[in-house]
Structure 1
Amino acid sequence: MRKTLLTSVLLFTTVMLTAQATQKPPLHGKNWMAITGKPLAATAGSMVFQQGGNAVDAACAMLAATCTMWDVLSWGGETQAIIYNPKTGKVIGINALGVAPTGATPEFFKSKGYQFPPEYGPLAAVTPGTVGGIIHMLSEYGTMSLKQVLAPAMDLAAGYPIDAQTANSIERGKERIKQWPYSKKVLLPHLGQKREAPEAGEIFVQQDLLNTLKKLVEAEQTALKNKKTRKQALQAAYDRFYKGDIADEFVRGAQEQGGLITKEDLANWKVKEEVPSMINYKGIDVYKLTQWTQGPSMLQALNIVENFDLKKMGYNSPQYINTIYQSMSLAFADRDFYYGDPAFAPTPQPMSGLLSKGYAKQRAALINPEKNNALITPGDPYPFEGRTNPYNEQIKQWNLEMDSTGKRNFVPAHDSTVTAKAELEAYMDRLWRGTTSVEAADKDGWVVSITPSGGWLPATIAGNTGIGMSQRMQSFVLDPVINPFNVVAPGKRPRVTLTPSMALKDGKPYLSFAVQGGDTQDQNLLQFFLNMVEFGMTVQQASEAENINTNQLWLSLGGTKMKDRKPRAGDLLLSARTPEPTREALKKMGYKLSFGQRTSGPINAIFIDRKHNSLWGGSSNNGEDYGIGW
C-alpha cells in the first residue's frame, strides 16, 4: 500500500511539475535570441543583433562582455564552443583552450610539493585562448568587424556599474589579490579603506584592459586601411595579441610574478576546429566537444539511461535518482581515466568504444536498482572497437578509496566563497557567481553554444594588460595512475569540465544548452535534456527544474592534495523540497544526503520551435543569467 501511494504521489508530482508556472518567464523571439550570465552582457549581444550581426557575432560580443565583467572569467581564460552552420548543415567544435607552458612538467610541480598543479597564481595558468577563439569564430563564421563586436566590451571596460556579486567576490578575495601587484591596482580601487573592493553600483574602470582592446581594434583597422581583407585584418589583431606588443607585456607581467609562459608559447598556440562527439538518443542527435572536455561523459550517460524506462520511474523518484546517479558515476569513472588531450595521448583513446551502445548496455548492467554501487571503476571499452586494453593492470591500481568521514564541496574552489560560511551556503554562493555560458541563435539558422571560463576571481593580472590569467592548469594530473591521458606536459591542453551542448532533430537544430559549475556541468545538462525529452517540460521549466548532483568522481578543480580530489561514494545533493519518503528511500540505498534551495544549474538554453518557426529561451532561476529575444 505504501509503495502504491508513493508511486501515485510521484506521478502526480511529475504531472504538476510539467504544468507549473516558472519563476522566470520564458523568452520568446522570432528573429534572434541572446542569453548569457549577466544582463548587461546579454544586452551586448542584442546590440550586435540589432546592428545586423548573426548569432556568431552576437555570441562573440556577449563573450567579450562577460570577460570584461569577470563573470567569473577574464580575457586570459579559455573558450569552448559548438556552432551550427546553416549553410553547410554541419555542427562545428571550437577548441580555444590554452596549453601548458614551457617547463610545466610533473617533476616541476612535484618539486614544489604539489600532488596537482596549483589552484591560484601565475603557476596555475595555461596560455590564454579566449582572444584567439573570438577572432577565429568571427573570421570563419561571423559577419562583422572586431571593432563592432568589441564595442560593448570596450564601453564596459571604460566604466560600468559593477554588480554586487562581482564586487563582493573581489572583497572576499582581496587578501589573495594583494599578492599580485597588477591585480591589486585594477581590482582594489579603495586600497587601505575598510572595504577595498568596488561597491555595488560603483562605476568600475579598467583602463589597462581598455587599452589592450583598443590595440586589437587598432591592428584590425590599420590592416583594413591598408587594403587587407576582412580575414587578414582579423588575423592582424590575432597576431598583435599572440606575437606582438600585447604578448610582450603579457609574458613580461606573467614571468615577473613567477609564471612560466613564454613568447614562444603564445606564438605557437593555435585555435583548433573539430568534429564534435555525437550520439543519438531516441531519434535526437546530441553533440558535445571531444575528450579534451568532459562533454562525452554526458553522451555516455545518455547511452546508459537509454536502457531504462525513465518515464515509468517518474521524475526524481528514488528509482530515477538512483539510476541517474549510478549512470553518471559510471560515465565519470571513464572520464576520470580515459579523457585527455588526444594530440598527446600515449595511445589513441577508446572513444568509439566509450560511446558505443554495446558498451553502454554493459555498463548499465552494473547499476544496482536496490542501492548505490560504491565500487564503480573505469570500464573496458577497448573490445567494442576491436582492441585490447593496455591499461587493465593500471585500472586495478586505480585508487578509489572513498572518504566518507567528511563533507566535500560539489563545486570547484574558485566558484565558492573564502569566508567561514557553512558548506551549503558556499555551494549556493557558487551557483550565483560561477563560470558563465553563452547561447545565441538567429532566424537564418545559426546557433551557438559556448562555455567559456578561466581567469576567475581572485585572478593574477598579467602586467599592464588588464587581463586575468587562466587557472586551468589545475585540471591536469601529475600521476598517470589516475589518468594516463591527462598528465601535464608543455604544449598540452588539460581535460576541462567546460562543456557546451547542442542537439539536432531531423537534421535541424533542436536545442542549444550550457551551464556553469565545474564537475556538475554535465550532471545538470543531462537532467535538463531528460526533463524536456522524457518529461515534456518547456525549455524554461527544464532550466528551473530540480537536479541532483553526485560527488562520486575525481574532482577536476580545487585542492592540491589527493585527499582533496578523491571520489566520495554516495554523496548526493538534493533539492531542499525533496519529499521525506524519497529522502528515506535514498538513505536506505546507501546515499549521504545534502540539500540546496536551488539545484537547477544555472542552465541557459535555446529551443528552436520548428512547429511555430520561433525561438524559446530558457534561463535558470539561480542567479543573474538571463537573455533578450526579438
Structure 2
Amino acid sequence: MRLFPLRALSAALALGLVVALPSQAADRITGEPFATRSEVYAPHAMAATSHPLATQVALDVMKGGGSAVDAAIAANAALGLMEPTGNGIGGDLFAIVWDPKTKKLYGYNGSGRSPKSLTLAEFQRRGLTDIPAHGPLPVTVPGTVDAWFALHEKFGRQPMAQNLAPAIRYAREGHPVHEVIAYYWDRSVPRLSKWPGFAEQFTVDGGGTDKRRAPRTGEMWKNPNLASTLEKIGKGGRDAFYKGDIARTIDAYFKANDGFLSYEDLAAHRGNWVEPVSTNYRGIDVWELPPNGQGIAALQMLNLLEPYDLKKYGFGSPEHVHLVAEAKKLAFADRAASYADPDFYKAPVEKLISKAYARERGKLVSMDAAAKAVEPGVIPELNEGDTIYMTVADDQGMMVSLIQSNYRGMGSGMAPPGLGFIFQDRGEQFVLKPGHPNTYAPGKRPFHTIIPAFATKDGKPWLSFGVMGGAMQPQGHAQIIVNLVDFGMNLQEAGDAPRIHHDGSTEPAGQNTAMSDGGVLELETGFPYETIQALMRKGHAVKFADGPYGGYQAIMVNPNGGYIGASESRKDGQAAGY
C-alpha cells in the first residue's frame, strides 16, 4: 500500500496544508486496494507470528510430527527470546484451540493473580492512587509456563523438552535482532535499566559513553540465562518453574527488592479452562474468551454495528469510521464498569453480548454527532469479597489462536538474576478505588487486555486471528471482521487496511476517570481527507499518531483445501506454510 509518510503528513498539517490521502494502492497489479503483499497459501499447515524465525520454528515442529499446539508453544518460547519487548515467560497467556477430533473450541485463561501479601491498604499507606507502571508493585504471578503445560497435556504430541529446544538453541547460539523489535527495545532501556537485573541481562556493552544499550537491528543477541531456565522447565515440567529452584530464586529476588511476589504465590498458581463465548455477525460466529479479559467488547461492538449497512457506506466513509468509534465508546463503557476477575465479580456476559442489549444501547448512537460521554448499560452490584499474537494450524485441522504478553513493552523491568526473563507489570491494570469490580485485592486476577479470537461458519472453523495492542485489540478484532464480511477484503487486505483507534474511553484501570470530552479519534494514514473533515463536523477530535494500531496475524481455512495466512505489515513478522 502506498502510504503518505506520517512525519511528512504531520509537518504538512502543521503548515496548514490540505493533504489528500490515498484510498487505495494503485500500484498493486492485482488491483487489491489495501494489501501490502499477497496472502500466503499452503496445503498442509500454516503459522503466522510477529517474527520470521518463530514462524519457521512452528513449521519445523509440525513437519516433525508435532501438533499445532506443540508448534504454538515452541514459537511462543522463541518469541520470548526474540521479542522480549512484547512477551516472555514472565507474562500471561490466553489461547483458543479448535480441536478437530471433538469439533469444538477450547479456551484457556492463563492469567496470574496478585501477591497474597500485598494489600490495598499498602498502596494507600504509600499514598498511591494508581499502581506504578514499573518496579515490584505491579508484578503478578506469570501464567505462561502453566498455560504451556495445560495446553500440551490436552493437545500436545511431542515432549515439551522437544518443543522448547529451538528457543534454547537460539538463546545459546544467538539470533539477529529485527527492526521493529530493536526500536522498542531501545525505547525500553532508559526506563527499565534502574531495576535490578535488567541492564545486566537485557542490554549490551557498547563501550565508551554508549556503555549499556539495547541491541541494534541485525546485531546478534544471546540469552544463555533464558536457555538454562527453559532447559530446567523442559526437564522438570511446570513445577520446575512454580515450585523448584526457579521459584526460590524469584522469591529471594523480590524479598531483596521491596517486592511481594513469593514462593507461595507461585506454588499456588493454576490457570483454568474456560468456555469461549460468541455472537453471530452476518452469518459468522465470532468467538472470544469471557472476562477477566476484554474480548467480549469486540462482540459488543459487532452487535452494535450489525444493524447498519456498512457495505453500502463503504470502507473509509465518514459513516463507517463514525459508527466504529461510537460502537467502541458504548462497549468500552461496559468494559470499564464490569470486566474483572470472575472469582470476585461475575459480569453479566450473556446480557452484555446479547442482540437485545445491543438494540437498546444502539439507540444512543447518533449519525450526526459524536458522543462526548457514555454511561455503562450495566451497573455492577458487588459482593464483598505489549504483547504478541500468533496463530498456528496443522495438517490434522487443529488451529490455535494464542496471545501472550509482558503488558507494557518489556514489562516491569524486574529481572531475577540468572533467569533471563522479565516479570510482567499486569497489576497496573487494577483500580485503587474501593467498591469497583476491578479494585485491587490479594490473590486476584487483574483486568486483562490480551485476547485471542476465532471465527466459525456453519459450525466449522473459518478464521483464527488476533490484533495485539492494549485497548486496540477489541477495536481491531471488530474491524478485521467488518473488513472481511462487509467490505469483502481478502485476509491480507483486512489487516493492511488503515485502522481506526479511538482513545479516551473510561478505563477499568488506574483512577477509572470517566470520559467527558468524547476522547480522541486516531486514524491511520490512508483515510480520505473528506472523511476527516466530515468526522470533525460531527464533533470528533481527529488526530494522526504513529504506532497505536496493533499487530495482526491470521489463518483462514481455504475452502479449496489447506490454509490461507496473513501477517501484520506493521511488524517484523511472517505468515508461512508448507
TM-score, normalised by the number of residues in structure 2: 0.90
1:173 maps onto 2:188 in alignment: yes
Question: Which residue does 2:443 correspond to in 1?
Answer: 491
Q: Distance in 2 between matches of 1:73 and 1:591?
A: 34
- Quick check: which one's helix share is greater? 1
Question: Which residue does 1:356 correspond to in 2?
Answer: 354
Displacement after TM superposition at 1:493 (Å): 0.7
Aligned residue runs from structure 1 range 108-507, under 5 A: 108-158=122-172, 159-190=174-205, 193-195=208-210, 196-197=212-213, 198-219=215-236, 237-345=237-345, 348-380=346-378, 390=381, 434-454=386-406, 456-457=409-410, 459-480=413-434, 484-507=436-459
Secondary structure of the corresponding residue to residue 405 of structure 2: coil
- Give 2:176's aligned amino acid: P
Displacement after TM superposition at 1:365 (Å): 0.9
Q: Distance in 2 between matches of 1:168 and 1:523?
A: 25
Displacement after TM superposition at 1:325 (Å): 0.9
Number of equivalences: 547
Q: Distance in 2 between matches of 1:33 and 1:50?
A: 11
Distance 1:172 1:301, change over 3 A: closer
Displacement after TM superposition at 1:94 (Å): 0.6
- Give 2:374's aligned amino acid: I
Question: Which residue does 1:31 correspond to in 2?
Answer: 44
- Give 2:552's aligned amino acid: I
Contact 2:463/2:556, CA 8 A, preserved across alignment: yes
Contact 2:25/2:33, CA 8 A, preserved across alignment: no
Contact 1:525/1:603, CA 8 A, preserved across alignment: no
Displacement after TM superposition at 1:556 (Å): 6.0
Distance 1:598 1:485, change over 3 A: closer
Contact 1:543/1:600, CA 8 A, preserved across alignment: no
Name structure 1 gaps, 5 residues minimum.
1-8, 220-236, 382-388, 392-433
Q: Distance in 2 between matches of 1:210 and 1:567?
A: 49
Q: Distance in 2 between matches of 1:297 and 1:596?
A: 23
1:289-309 CA distances to partner (integer Å, 9 max, x unpaired)? 101100000111111111222
Question: Which residue does 2:533 correspond to in 1?
Answer: 584
Contact 1:115/1:562, CA 8 A, preserved across alignment: no
Displacement after TM superposition at 1:200 (Å): 2.9
Q: Distance in 2 between matches of 1:334 and 1:14?
A: 38
1:80 maps onto 2:69 in alignment: no
Q: Distance in 2 between matches of 1:103 and 1:586?
A: 49
Alignment counterpart, residue 72 of structure 2, candidates 59, 64, 67 = 59
Distance 1:566 1:118, change over 3 A: farther
Question: Which residue does 2:571 correspond to in 1?
Answer: 623
Q: Distance in 2 between matches of 1:566 and 1:590?
A: 15
Q: Distance in 2 between matches of 1:169 and 1:574?
A: 22
Q: Distance in 1 between matches of 2:233 and 2:480?
A: 38
Question: Which residue does 2:10 correspond to in 1?
Answer: none
Distance 1:306 1:271, change over 3 A: same
Distance 1:546 1:18, change over 3 A: farther
Contact 2:180/2:572, CA 8 A, preserved across alignment: no
- Give 2:51's aligned amino acid: K
Secondary structure of the corresponding residue to residue 465 of structure 1: coil
Displacement after TM superposition at 1:25 (Å): 2.2
Displacement after TM superposition at 1:453 (Å): 0.2
Q: Distance in 1 between matches of 2:229 and 2:503?
A: 40
Contact 2:70/2:156, CA 8 A, preserved across alignment: yes
Q: Distance in 1 between matches of 2:338 and 2:216?
A: 45
1:592-614 CA distances to partner (integer Å, 9 max, x unpaired)? 1112477763211111122x012
Displacement after TM superposition at 1:437 (Å): 0.5
Distance 1:167 1:600, change over 3 A: closer
1:547 maps onto 2:495 in alignment: no
Secondary structure of the corresponding residue to residue 367 of structure 2: coil
Q: Distance in 2 between matches of 1:548 and 1:331?
A: 15
Q: Distance in 2 between matches of 1:277 and 1:117?
A: 31
1:98 maps onto 2:112 in alignment: yes
Displacement after TM superposition at 1:568 (Å): 5.1
Q: Distance in 2 between matches of 1:595 and 1:199?
A: 28
Question: Which residue does 2:61 correspond to in 1?
Answer: 48
Q: Distance in 2 between matches of 1:18 and 1:321?
A: 23
Q: Distance in 2 between matches of 1:562 and 1:342?
A: 19
- Give 2:425's aligned amino acid: Q
Q: Distance in 2 between matches of 1:137 and 1:145?
A: 12
Secondary structure of the corresponding residue to residue 135 of structure 1: helix
Displacement after TM superposition at 1:338 (Å): 0.7
Secondary structure of the corresponding residue to residue 93 of structure 1: strand
Contact 2:501/2:549, CA 8 A, preserved across alignment: no
Distance 1:18 1:272, change over 3 A: farther
Distance 1:154 1:490, change over 3 A: same
Contact 1:38/1:71, CA 8 A, preserved across alignment: no
Displacement after TM superposition at 1:538 (Å): 0.6
Q: Distance in 2 between matches of 1:274 and 1:441?
A: 21
- Give 1:201's aligned amino acid: G
Displacement after TM superposition at 1:21 (Å): 6.2
Moved over 6 A (4+): 12-18
- Give 2:420's aligned amino acid: G
TM-score, normalised by the number of residues in structure 1: 0.82
Contact 2:94/2:450, CA 8 A, preserved across alignment: yes
1:551-580 CA distances to partner (integer Å, 9 max, x unpaired)? 1413467xx6667x9675141011333222
Displacement after TM superposition at 1:505 (Å): 0.4
Percent identity of paired positions between Structure 1 and Structure 2: 33
Distance 1:493 1:294, change over 3 A: same
Distance 1:177 1:580, change over 3 A: closer
- Give 1:590's aligned amino acid: G
Question: Which residue does 2:476 correspond to in 1?
Answer: 524
Secondary structure of the corresponding residue to residue 122 of structure 1: coil
Name structure 2 gaps, 5 residues minimum.
1-19
Secondary structure of the corresponding residue to residue 437 of structure 1: strand
Displacement after TM superposition at 1:39 (Å): 1.1
1:212-257 CA distances to partner (integer Å, 9 max, x unpaired)? 11112232xxxxxxxxxxxxxxxxx111111111111122122222
Q: Which moved more, 1:325-334 or 1:613-622?
A: 613-622
Question: Which residue does 1:384 correspond to in 2?
Answer: none
Contact 1:313/1:320, CA 8 A, preserved across alignment: yes
Contact 2:373/2:517, CA 8 A, preserved across alignment: no
Displacement after TM superposition at 1:507 (Å): 0.8
Displacement after TM superposition at 1:73 (Å): 1.6
- Give 2:527's aligned amino acid: T
- Give 2:440's aligned amino acid: V
Displacement after TM superposition at 1:22 (Å): 2.0
1:609 maps onto 2:558 in alignment: yes
Secondary structure of the corresponding residue to residue 181 of structure 1: coil
